[in-house]
Structure 1
Amino acid sequence: MTNKISDKKLSQEQSEELLNILKVRFEKHMNRHENLDWAMVKANLDRSPEKLWSLNEMERTGGEPDVIGYDKKKDEYMFCDCSAESPKGRRSVCYDREALESRKKHKPENSAMDLAASMGIELLTEEQYRQLQKLEPFDKKTSSWVQTPPDIRELGGALFCDYRFGNVFVYHNGADSYYAARGFRGSLMV
């Protein structure tokens, strides 16, 4: 079946182009990953070529993925959307499939959770979002859905975050709501 993430591959030319974009971004923004080495990141990418497709989807939808962390125990690097604002190609989405199906009128085209799954990435948690904001300010004009605890989701709500007045704010909305300035940021471990 060709719908599985593992079946989605980039051509050699696409892979080389993406790797070049990622390397340039990595070297330009060393503040996001001090003491990390591109050669080591590239070695992990070489061992997991299927992850390049997901990174390409992040790039294609405006996420500008970059390395923001390293898990020493698992020997994995965390890529995250580092676009200044919520990725443009992932806005105007409600939170999840249940919320999408519950709308009777004016349904958005997709949900954040479904779109993330189709890309092979995960929405950031609130904690990950706050860690990202320690690197530099993001979402100063937009907002991003974040993973929502089950107890909130069961009551029909979902959480989103943004950065205003020098602080990260966490808010709630009905999970079925969607706005032109709200999307989501994703992460991928490689």
Structure 2
Amino acid sequence: MKKQLSQDQRQELLQTLKTRFEKNMDRHKGIEWAKVHAKLQENETKLWSLDDMEISGGEPDVVGYDKKTGEFIFYDCSAESPKGRRSICYDHEALESRKEHKPADSAINMAANMAIEILTGDEYRELQKLGKFDTKTSSWIKTPADIRKAGGALFCDWRYGHVFTYHNGAESYYAARGFRGALRV
């Protein structure tokens, strides 16, 4: 099924993205909105993903440009972990392992349904160079296979002027923990 936005939804999203882009020029020095806009107009599926990021509270914004692939890179830039993506465990396996008090979903499932990637630890650290994020919340990050195989998962936050990376059981979930996504367009 092809995911599409109505013309009104497209226009509203593009205006929101443009306004955020212009308000936060320090996040994307040397990148012109006209080029980002042209690229977005070419790709309906990516617009749908950005709309999902927006609806769930992520406040996506351009944070870079990959010269090798010609893609603009968007990250969730909300001050705190996106509100519509909190109280979730790490992945489907963790969700299924819970016998009671299951969360509604998992970070990996939600990211896949939105057609975005969960941030890696390196991406999370890059995001933190652009501002202070997750000062009251935390965000799951992509977890290496060996840690996940052992039952754990990683998350990060910003405290005391530093990025901290922690571990928890992948099946755990908290009201203040969600995930941040990345999308290449």
Do both proteins adopt the same fold according to a TM-score greater than 0.5, normalized to the shorter chain?
A: yes
2:10 and 2:81 mapped to 1: Cα distance?
A: 24
State the distance in 2 between where 1:136 and 1:184 align. Answer: 17
Rounded to whole Å, the distance in 2 between the matches of 1:70 and 1:15 is 22
The residue number in structure 2 matching 1:186 is 181
Runs of 4+ residues deviating >6 angstroms: none
> Hey, what's the Cα distance between the residues in 2 that align with 1:135 and 1:49?
28
Aligned to 2:151: 156
The separation in 2 between residues aligned to 1:76 and 1:161, in whole angstroms, is 26
Alignment of 1:51 with 2:40, yes or no, is no
Segments of structure 1 that go 5 or more residues without pairing to the other structure are: none
Q: Distance in 1 between matches of 2:70 and 2:62?
A: 13
**Which among 18, 27, 35 is matched to residue 22 of structure 2?**
27
User: What secondary structure, in the 3-state scheme, does the structure 2 residue paired with 1:159 have?
Assistant: strand
23, 46, 58: which one aligns with 1:63: 58
Equivalent positions of 1:1-190 (< 5 A) are: 2=1, 7-190=2-185
Give the TM-score normalised by structure 2. Answer: 0.99
- Number of paired residues? 185
More moved, 45-54 vs 14-23: 45-54
Flag structure 2 segments of 5+ consecutive residues without an equivalent.
none
Instruction: Kindly report the root-mean-square deviation, in angstroms, between the aligned alpha carbons of the 2 structures.
Output: 0.5
TM-score for the superposition, normalised by structure 1: 0.97
Q: Match of 2:110, as an amino acid?
A: L
1:54-100 Cα offsets, whole Å, 9 max, x none, are: 00000000000000010011110011100000000000000000000
Q: CA deviation at 1:49?
A: 1.8
Distance 1:174 1:122 in 2: 21
- Letter in structure 1 aligned against 2:99: K
Q: How far apart are the structure 2 equivalents of 1:145 and 1:80? A: 14
- Percent identity over paired residues: 66
